[in-house]
Structure 1
Amino acid sequence: MAKLTKITTQKKHKSRYNIFLDKGNGEEYGFSVDEDVLVKYRLQKNMDLDDATINALVQTDTLHKSYTLAINYLSYRMRSEKEIRDYLKDKEADPEHIEEIIKKLHQERLLDDQEFANSLVRTRIMTSSKGPLLLKKELLDKGVSALKADEAITLYSFDKQYEKALKFAEKKMRNDGRKSYRQQIQNVQQTLMQKGFQGDVIQEVLVNLPEEEDENTEWEAVVYQGEKLLRKFQPKTEGYELKQKVKSGLYRKGFPFDLIDRFIEEYIDV
């Protein structure tokens, strides 16, 4: 049996208290507790504490500290259950305490994977260029079940997807203006797929993109790309071989044969 001899406030953490005990050999530091634990157990000077009670106090305080860590982690943004578990494991929380904390957070409605998933999808729709397939992957990576992820993705309507995908596609085509029209379309399709947009949305976007630009604009692109190829191959080859390399390079870039032949005729002496 030990007697509680003194309670002092910690200098750096005003809500934590040092408990001093006398186990028969004079006063010595015993343990520390949070203010909530101090009040809950009504700790006061001259109270007698047996080993079981001391152990219970230490365990309760340890649980409280881990719970406080979880609450602080949640204060920045919503978290998935997996994120909370991983965070507490990284903080070396007791496995039994983790289960208790998770249960308590659910009871207090501070942890809800469906609400977390819904919130993440709404935020990403407003702040990112990701399509629904990438968002679903992100949710799965955060430990959200496939069922809950699918439910959240329904918030990303076809119209919202189309609006975002079309805006991105138009911007990309403007940036790719010196590429062939065919290559621009291919790049848009590939990029939208990489961003996780669904096939029906991509097809609708491609159908509604501006039609092929006039021949003058396409010719300017041929000249730009053709001159780059000439700078690349002229130091190494000439004549017929140079002509074939440039012709092949322009074809791979998606330009039509008539414009390729025109460039070869005007820019390469064979």
Structure 2
Amino acid sequence: MGVITKITVQQKRVDRYNIEIDGEYAFSTDEAVLIEFNLKKGQTITEAEITDIQVRDGVQRGINTAINFLSVRMRSEKEIRDYLKKKEIEPDSWDEIMKRLASMGYLNDEQFADAYIKTQIQTTEKGPAVILRELKEKGIEDHIAASLIEQFTEEERIEKAAALFEKQLKKYKRDSAFLQQKKAEQHVLTKGYSAVVMKKAATKAEPDAEAEMGALMHQAEKAHRRYRAFENREYRQKMKASLYRKGFDLSDIDRAIDRLLEEE
């Protein structure tokens, strides 16, 4: 037991106070805890009360840490717990911290999931499967995520997948239409769209015969430089095999080879 002889504001933390007991520094505490326990100079305080104050201060420190983390954007309960662990907040205080955050309106996994899905739809190319996986990683229960992902309508999924598909076709414009298609399809699937949505998106892409011939000639010229030293029959065999493996049509390959030979 002792008497509080001095209470001073910390120089670098104006929300924290140093407490001296019987003329010596004893502990520091948050302003909210100071007010809650009505601490003042001249007050008699026991060891048990000091312990209670320090426990409560640990909770308040965790609340302040979490609110600072939440100031950037909404967070799931799991994200908050992971952050408290990272900041070395005493695990015994986590439940109380979460309870108080929820009572202040800072925590609601359903609202978080709803906002997260809307943001991903509006700002990213992600499909439903990827969004659901990320929500699971953030600790959102499956039934909540499954219910809320329905706001991502099939029409929106097809529209976004089609845009992604077209973007990939342009990226691989030097490849055959066959390879462009396969690479674009694979990319759409890895972004989290279903095979059904991907197929519907792919049908929106218009075949470009001129671009296909341009890609074929680009690849044919590269192959021609490799095989031009071979005699005619072997040259044609190697050219056809090389270009066919890249997905080009055999009749188009013949025309490309003839064109190259005419230019020799």
Instruction: Name the TM-score, length of structure 2 as normaliser.
Output: 0.92
Match of 1:250 among 227, 243, 262: 243
Please list, as runs of the form range in 1=range in 2, the aligned pairs for 1:75-94 lying within 5 A after superposition: 75-94=71-90
Q: Give, in whole Å, the separation in 2 of the partners of 1:122 and 1:191.
A: 22
Q: Residues 144-192 of structure 1: CA distance to partner in whole angstroms, max 9, x if unpaired?
A: 1221221221111111111111122223323433322222222221111
Amino acid at match of 2:7: I
Helix, strand or coil for the counterpart of 2:151?
Answer: coil
Equivalent-residue separation in structure 2 for 1:222 and 1:12 (angstroms): 69
Q: Which amino acid aligns with 1:16?
A: R
Does 1:29 find its partner at 2:25? yes
Distance (whole Å) between structure 1 residues aligned to residue 8 and residue 199 of structure 2: 70
* 1:261 aligns with one of 246, 254, 257: 254
Which residue of the other structure, out of 94, 118, 121, is the alignment partner of 2:117?
121
Q: Could you tell me whether the CA contact under 8 Å between 1:173 and 1:184 is conserved in 2?
A: yes
- Would the aligned equivalents of 2:175 and 2:215 in 1 still touch at CA under 8 Å? yes
Instruction: Tell me the matched-pair count.
Output: 261
Between the aligned residues of both structures, percent identity stands at: 38
Name the amino acid aligned to 2:256: F
1:238 equivalent in alignment to 2:230: yes
Q: What are the equivalent positions in structure 2 for 1:200-215 lying under 5 Å apart?
A: 200-210=196-206, 212-214=207-209
Residues in 1 aligned to 2:238 and 2:112: alpha-carbon distance in whole angstroms? 55
Q: Deviations over 1:17-53 (max 9, x none)?
A: 100011xxxx110001111111111111111111101
CA distance in 2, matches of 1:77, 1:268: 63
Please give the per-residue CA displacement for 1:199-235, whole angstroms capped at 9, x wherever unaligned. Answer: 221111122221x323x4432221101112334x349
The TM-score, its normalising length taken from structure 1, stands at 0.90
Gapped regions of structure 1 (runs ≥ 5): none
Partner of 2:11: 11
Partner residue, 2:142: 146
Q: 2:105 aligns with which of 104, 109, 121?
A: 109
CA contact (8 A) 1:134 1:195 kept: yes
Matches within 5 A, 1:122-137: 122-137=118-133
In the alignment, structure 2 segments of 5+ residues that lack a partner are: none
**Alignment CA distance shift 1:242-1:152 (3 Å):** farther
SS for the counterpart of 2:166 is helix
Aligned to 1:183: 179
Deviation of residue 5 (structure 1)? 0.4
Measure the CA separation in 2 of the matches of 1:249 and 1:79: 53
Which digits, 9 at most, give the CA deviation of each residue in 1:217-260, with x for residues without a partner? 432221101112334x349x734555433322211221111011
* Partner SS state of residue 28, structure 2: strand
Does structure 1 retain, via aligned residues, the 8 Å contact 2:20–2:26? yes
